[in-house]
Amino acid sequence: MTPLELLAPAKNLSCGLAAIDSGADAVYIGAAQFGARVSAGNSIDDIRQLCEYAHQYAAKVYVTVNTILYDDELANAERLIHQLYQAGADAILVQDMGILKMDLPPIALHASTQTDNRTAYKVRWLRQQGFSRVVLARELSVSEIAAIHRDVPDMPLEVFVHGALCVSYSGLCYASQYCFGRSANRGACAQFCRMKFDLVDADGHELEHQRHLLSLKDLNLYHHLEELIMAGATSFKIEGRLKDVAYVRNVVAAYSQRLDDIIASHASDYCRASLGRCSYAFTPNLLKTFNRGFTTYFLPCRRSENGALSGRQADIFSPDTPKAIGEYVGSVKELRRDSFNVAGTASFANGDGLCFINRNRELEGFRVNRAEGNRLFPQQMPPHLRPGMALYRNYDIEFERLLSRQVPQRKIALTLRIAPIPTGFTLSAEIAKSTGFTLSAEVVSVSIACEHQQAEKPQHDNIVRQLSKLGGTPYEASRVEIPSDFDYFIPGSLLSDLRRQLVAALTANSQPQQKTGILSHTEDLSPEHYAYTYLNNVSNRLAQQVYGIMEPTAFELKGGDGPLMQCRHCLRFSLGFCTRRSGSRMPFREPLFLRLADGRRFRLEFDCKQCQMNVYASKCYREKA
């Protein structure tokens, strides 16, 4: 039986606890240093608390140590990894291969998506280096994931299923470093891809004016989890280490329920990777938390006989705005001086946040001061609102209140059994074993010494009631078994003592599986070759040893003349100019350029063989004679 893992983000301890309570099988969180979200760091003590809480449910905690490292940071990074191991972390996510040459504790290593994992060769090489899991590139299709799994079946594969998308292959984006001196590979991305650009041709003609041409919609593979499972993925990752508790609760609950439904229809093949089931006082709705509109990205894509990717979608990007749009709630019907009507079936509340795309193709938002049915009174009437415009809600105040008030409850079901022994009584609990975590005993038992007293009246109901008082613990009694000939009286204080001892024993016996450290393999593989050496992101002497090169070559240290971005998103396709599809000539002269408002230009290269768009700094462009 294959365990399936729902992996949730945690900005901080509160978000991590919310993720576990909402049904996550694992959580990933950043430490105080060396995480790919520099603004989402956490103390060792907070990570320890999260580990202790998660391990009660046999859930895991992974810590991001996935920036590239400089030589003067290596000692601190090694020390941090030892601290994380002592705190109970189950794995670390790694980008910098120099970590492989450190004196590591026996902690599992996961290859971050920042290591550009899109081929079976790369996954096999990572397995050879000792990684126990690979996080695949977001751009892969179902068929590409399945092919990797067929070629490297013994490597667990983690895939992103929800949240924000980087337009460049992760780990290969240097635009932020080039333009602003802020390295995405060191957790300081300035979000170059969310900026406005003009699109101009080689003659300077403007094809698009100040649009968010590189800003992608958010990923949503809720309806494609089963396809991913059949392709061989076993961990399903939600993006969002900068998101709040409400976002985590809603999205985790939605995907947890979906995963349970899939497992229920394949009960002999799959199980959840942790213990406990959740109850919710709200109905999850992915449209009601932060989103830029949704896309399935390239998941449905198939490669045709001529090598081109079929099934591409033109609407994977959000050129009008990089901000949250939310759910469609209707269209503007009638405008008055201080209010307007909405044509649609949605209901509204005072405090809702609404938005629309104006005639200049820009997002405008406003707050509802008062709602009277479908007539809305904004705090201030939006000046560009017009009849017929589509209206979206990007902040549902009632839903947010519900999420904050109604905390999900996660409980592990126990079968309790009480029986007499010569010296007193024993109480045992049977709990399902969890793959990946091992209870030291399938049945956990405790006992108490006391004299046997014959009961003067039936005790069954009282014993069941006393032993079932498990509130405030991760457990619930689904069944209490008492021998049919059990006719003893046990004082309530002793029953309570038995119950407390059992909870303590259950908690102590739910421990992480023994960690094995770096694995070894017999294959002799070289690192995957890049056309430009800086793409390996080698920034320290230890990584040099792994790659067998003479000196660090990272873009952050030496720059480079190659692409700043490598993207599967293709503007020529999205704007209707794909030559492989239409076979027609372009109505403009190439190369095309992206141009920022300050005049800086970036050349676009369309690698049709790879179905890829590369972005270069304009200084790399040399007009052909």
Q: Tens of pLDDT along 112-166?
A: 999 999 999 999 999 999 999 999 999 999 999 999 999 999 999 999 999 999 9
pLDDT at 624: 36
Percent of the chain with pLDDT over 70: 92
- pLDDT, mean of residues 43-66: 96
Q: What tens digit of pLDDT does each residue of 447-471 get?
A: 999 999 999 899 999 999 999 999 8
Instruction: For residue 335, give the H/E element and its range.
Output: strand 327-335
Q: Which residues of 73-102 are buried (b: 16+ CB within 10 A; e: fewer)?
A: bbeebbebbebbbebbbbbbbbbbbbbbbb
Helix (H, G, I), strand (E, B) or coil at 592: strand
Q: Which of 170-184, 360-374, 497-511 comes out lowest in average pLDDT?
A: 497-511
- Give the distance from CA 20 to its chain's centroid: 14
> Could you tell me the pLDDT band of residue 588, with boundaries at 50, 70 and 90?
confident
> Could you tell me the pLDDT band of residue 526, with boundaries at 50, 70 and 90?
confident
pLDDT at 579: 78
> Could you tell me the pLDDT band of residue 520, with boundaries at 50, 70 and 90?
low
Q: Are 418 and 489 in contact (CB under 8 A)?
A: no
pLDDT at 306: 55
pLDDT at 622: 41
Helix (H, G, I), strand (E, B) or coil at 76: helix
pLDDT at 585: 72
- pLDDT, mean of residues 404-414: 91
pLDDT at 529: 80
Say if residue 439's pLDDT is above 50.
no
Nearest CA-CA partner of 278 in 413, 160, 414, 402 = 413
Q: Which residues of 382-416 are buried (b: 16+ CB within 10 A; e: fewer)?
A: beebeeebebbbbbbbebbebbeeebbebbbebeb
Tokens 């009008």 locate to: 320
> Could you tell me the pLDDT band of residue 304, with boundaries at 50, 70 and 90?
low
Say if residue 292's pLDDT is above 50.
yes
How far is 146 from 10, CA to CA, in rounded Å? 29
How far is 410 from 23, CA to CA, in rounded Å? 7
Say if residue 84's pLDDT is above 70.
yes
- pLDDT, mean of residues 292-314: 74
Q: What tens digit of pLDDT does each residue of 98-125 get?
A: 999 999 999 999 999 999 999 999 999 9
How far is 399 from 283, CA to CA, in rounded Å? 9
pLDDT at 625: 29
- pLDDT, mean of residues 504-526: 67
Q: Which residues pair with 110 in a beta bridge?
A: 93, 133
Q: Are 609 and 601 in contact (CB under 8 A)?
A: no
Q: Residue 564: exposed, middle, or buried by beta-carbon count in 10 A (0-12, 13-18, 19+)?
A: buried
Q: Which of 17-31, 36-50, 431-445 comes out lowest in average pLDDT?
A: 431-445
Which residue has better confidence, 607 or 439? Answer: 607
